[in-house]
Amino acid sequence: MGAQGSKLEKVLGDQFPEGERYFGLENFGNTCYCNSVLQALYFCVPFREQLLEYYGNVKNPADVEENLLTCLAELFMQISTQKKKTGVVAPKRFVHRVKKENELFRGYMHQDAHEFLNFLLNELADILEKELAKVPVENLSPPDKITNGPDGGPVNGGKKEPLVTWVHKSFQGILTNETRCLRCETVTARDETFLDLSLDIEQNSSITSCLKNFSSTETLNAEDKFFCDKCCSLQEAQKRMKIKRPPNILVIHLKRFKYMEHLSRYKKLSYRVVFPLELKLTNTMEDADCEYSLFAVVVHVGSGPNHGHYVSLVKSHNHWLFYDDENVEIIDESAVQTAFGSAQEFASNTDHGYMLFYESIDTNKLS
C-alpha cells in the first residue's frame, strides 16, 4: 500500500485536501461488507464530526466501558490523526466488537452490507439513548428533548424512544402512511420513522421512478380490505406512503436481492437503475422540494446473493475515490455510472449500486 499511497498523493499533488486522510481498511476474511459501509460513514462528514466530538468529550477513554460506539469513534480518530496522508488501518477491535454483539456477523459467510448498516446505526442510537437517559433533563439541549416524530414513535419498529440522538438527527426521517376509506372518505394517517429507505427496483429505471413507485397509491380490496373506524366495518380503501420529513442524510437501499418462489432461493437483480449525483425529492414530499447530493455508493460485485464482494465509491472535496478494502484509488466522476447496473441480465459487469448515500444540500433544513 506504500506504493499505492504515494501514487494517490502524486495524482492529487497540491490538490490533496488539507487535513484529510485516505486510508484503506484491512479485510479479515469476509469483512468487505463492513469496510465498504465504514468508508461511506467516514465520508459522511457531519456524522464523522459528531463521532469525533463525542470521542473528544470522553475524559479518559481507558475508563469507559468498551462498546460499538467507542470502538467506532476510536477507529475514526485513528484514521483522522494519522501522520501519513494515505495507508492502511486494521479495524480489528471494531470488527471483533461487531461479532461479539451480533452472532449474525460471526461466521465466514458472505454478509449483507445493508443489514450491517441497519444494525450499526440502531446499535449506536441505543447506546447514545442510554447515555442521554442518565443525564438530568435540565442539562439536555432542547433538540435532545424532542421525541422521535409526532408520537415519539419507534425506530424501524423498535421500542418507544423518548430521546433523539445525533445519529437520529443525521439519518432519521419520518414517513406518513395514509389510508383513505373509499366509502366515507375518512383519511387515517400514521407516522413512522426510518433510518434508510428500501426501494423495489425495475429494469432500466431510475431512483426517481423507484421513489414514485414507493409513494404510489395502492387499492385495498377483496381479502385486503381496511377496517374503517368511522364505518365500523371492513371497507375498500386507498393507501399510500409519503415522506413527511426527509432526513439530513438520505440512505437509499436498492432491493437487489429478491426471493424467487419458483427457485426457492434468492436471486440478485442486476437491473440498470440510474441514480443522479444531485437528487430532488419532489413526488414524495408534502412541502417544498428537498435537494440532495450523492457522496457515497456501496457497490455489490458478483452475480449472486450468497457470494461476491463489496466496494465503495466516495466523494471527498470534489474528488471521487474507489475503496476496495486495503486499496484506495482516485477515479473520474463518470466512473460512478458503472455502478448503475446492467441493461441485459447476463452482462459481464457485475458491479451494481446497492446503497446510495445522499447529503442534504440545504444544511439549514430540518434541524
Catalytic, out of 253, 309, 319, 352:
309
Catalytic, out of 32, 44, 228, 290:
32
Give the Cα separation of 37 and 360 in Å (integer).
19
CB 65 within 8 A of CB 58: no
Give the Cα separation of 82 and 87 in Å (integer).
9
C-alpha cell at 226: 381496511
- Give the orientation angle of helix 113-133 with respect to helix 32-42, to 10 degrees: 60
3-state SS, one letter per residue, for the chain: CHHHHHHHHHHHHHHCCCCCCEEEECCCCCCHHHHHHHHHHHCCHHHHHHHHHHHHHCCCHHHCCCCHHHHHHHHHHHHHCCCCCEEEECCHHHHHHHHHHCHHHCCCCCCCHHHHHHHHHHHHHHHHHHHHHCCCHHHCCHHHHCCCCCCCCCECCCCCCCCCCHHHHHHCEEEEEEEEECCCCCEEEEEEEECCEEECCCCCEEHHHHHHHHCCCEEECHHHCEEECCCCEEECEEEEEEEEECCCEEEEEECCEEEECCCCEEEECCECEECCCEEEECCCECCCCEEEEEEEEEEEECCCCCCCEEEEEEEECCEEEEEECCEEEEECHHHHHHHCCECCCCCCCCEEEEEEEEEECCCCCCC
Q: Is 184 a catalytic residue?
A: no
* Nearby residues of 195 by Cβ (< 8 Å), 6 or more positions away: 118, 121, 122, 155, 156, 171, 172, 247, 251
Q: Is 32 a catalytic residue?
A: yes
Give the Cα separation of 202 and 204 in Å (integer).
6
Annotated catalytic residues are 32, 309
